[in-house]
Amino acid sequence: MRSFAGAFTELAFDLSLELRGTGRADLARELEAATIKAVSYDAETDIGLIALEPQRRLNAVERNVVGQKLGQVIRFSGVTYASLQLDNFGRVVAVELVAPPRNLRWILRPASGYRWRAR
């Protein structure tokens, strides 16, 4: 699988920088280490979602008994078009992009609907 930081270098840098600046270096490291599961982008609504696979896997109890749900959304003040989605275990699971800049749209459009697989 392709890393988030490798595929979206500038976005990963900007988000990580802001996370570190607000005392969330743990999330910055997790975001940089995450791999991409899927990318979707809807040109009509101008919204994109980059689904991520966190490094820390869920154990059997977390996965089968508790279950994974959306836990928290972190908004950014510098990168206002992006928000970070965490699951109920505090793992980074997605980056949502609302009206991203043009240079990012050019990356999202061809990747939309594509599921990234291990090589």
Q: Write down the pLDDT at residue 101.
A: 92
The phi, psi pair for 109, rounded to 5°, reads: -55, -55
With beta carbons less than 8 A apart as the criterion, state whether 69 and 87 touch.
yes
What is the structure's pLDDT at 36?
A: 93
Distance (Å, rounded) from C-alpha 30 to C-alpha 53?
10
Q: What predicted TM-score, i.e. pTM, was given to this entire model?
A: 0.83
Residue type at position 36: I
**pLDDT at site 118:** 41
> What residue spans define the domains of the chain?
4-115
**pLDDT profile of the chain (119 residues), mean per 10:** 89 96 94 92 91 79 66 91 91 94 84 54
